Structures are given as structure tokens and as C-alpha cells.
Amino acid sequence: MHYFPGDDLFAVNRPRGLPIGNLTSQFWGNVYLDRLDQVVKRDLGCRAYLRYVDDFLLFADDRATLWRWRQAVVDALAALRLTLHEARCHPRPVSEGIPFLGFVVYPDHRRLKRRKGITFGRHMRALLAQYHAGQIPLQQVTASVQGWVNHVRYGATYGLRRSLLRTATRRPPPMLSSE
């Protein structure tokens, strides 16, 4: 819990945020953070800025500028009663790669974060087990795989996709009969 100036003891009981997955959460996130966009583009004069809902990147030629902008962003967000993830928000060279939207973005390519591939592999195995047990239809498995493939195709993931999809197309081991 982060307390802002003017908060009382009951601030902890007030509802916070938007539910993830809500159909309007992206829209309202964009509406609410429009003020941040205006600060970054107009007040700071940042010429290279990316934002997708609550994830954003600012680019500059030197670290001092980025640190100055970081403090201005912290102040702008505090006015909106928002905070940054302190451990994740610090200037770094683009040559190291920048984590953004499930990828690590480099100047010339994108790689999927390792844990994202591992997590989907587990999820897919669970879906396949449910399908083979007759608990879910094939369409549900297909929709999940297609959604994931559509997302990760924007990174250097051809080998990962081929490997995961190969395991999905193998036949399951035969069930032992209880006779």
C-alpha cells in the first residue's frame, strides 16, 4: 500500500485499480494515462516514447536526461495516485535489451522472455491433458494455441513454436485398460 498526500487511515479500504481482463480496462487505462502522455511528449519533449496501457518506455541519448525524466514521470504519476515499480524502472542501454510486453527488445530483434515460453509449455500440456481426458473440446485448445502463437510470432520464436507444436501433435500414450 502506498500512501499519497492527503490520504487518511481509511485509504487502505478504498478500491484500487481495474480488474485485469475487463473489456474496458485497456480503454480506461489509456484514458487515465493520457495525462502522462502529455507530460512526456509536451513537458519533457521526449521524441521517442512507447506506451501500451501501463507499460511504457522513454528513449534518450544520455543517462542524465533519462534520470531527470524518470523523476518527472514519478511526480506526474503521483498526481494521478500511481507509482512505478521501482526495481524495474531505471535507465539502461538498449544494447542490453529492454523487457517490454513479454519480450526482451534489442535494437535489431526481439526475444520472448524465457519464463513466458516455459509457462505456455506447462499451460499447453495441461490443456492437452484436459482434452485427452475429455474435459475440454479441441476448439478450446486450438484457440489458446493460436492466441499464443499470434503473440509470440513477433519475436525470434520459430524454433520454440516448432518444438512446442511438435509435442502437441504427438499421440498421447495409450491408456491402460482396467480389464
CA dist 88 and 177 (Å) reads 53
**Averaged pLDDT for residues 43-63:** 91
pLDDT digits (tens, 9 = 90+) for 89-125: 888 898 999 988 889 999 999 999 999 999 999 999 9
The three cell numbers locating residue 75:
511526480
What was the pLDDT predicted at 15? 64
Whether this model's pTM surpasses 0.85: no
DSSP-based three-state secondary structure for 137:
coil
DSSP 8-state secondary structure symbol assigned to residue 176:
P
Q: HSE of 162 in the Cβ direction (CA atoms, 13 Å)?
A: 4
CA dist 94 and 103 (Å) reads 13
Please measure the distance between the N-terminal and C-terminal CA atoms of the chain and give it in whole angstroms: 59
pLDDT digits (tens, 9 = 90+) for 153-179: 999 999 999 988 887 776 665 555 555
DSSP H or E stretch at residue 31:
helix 25-32
DSSP-based three-state secondary structure for 68:
helix
What was the pLDDT predicted at 172? 60
**Averaged pLDDT for residues 35-48:** 94
pLDDT digits (tens, 9 = 90+) for 9-38: 777 667 666 666 777 878 888 888 999 999
Label residue 1 by pLDDT band (50, 70, 90): low
What was the pLDDT predicted at 83? 86
DSSP H or E stretch at residue 121:
helix 114-132
Confirm if 33 and 54 have CB atoms less than 8 A apart.
Answer: yes
**Averaged pLDDT for residues 34-63:** 92
What was the pLDDT predicted at 9? 73
CA-nearest of 124, 129, 128 to 161 is 124
DSSP letter for each residue of 98-120: EEETTEEE-SS-EEE-HHHHHHH
What was the pLDDT predicted at 30? 87
Least confident range of 20-29, 39-48, 126-135, 141-150: 20-29
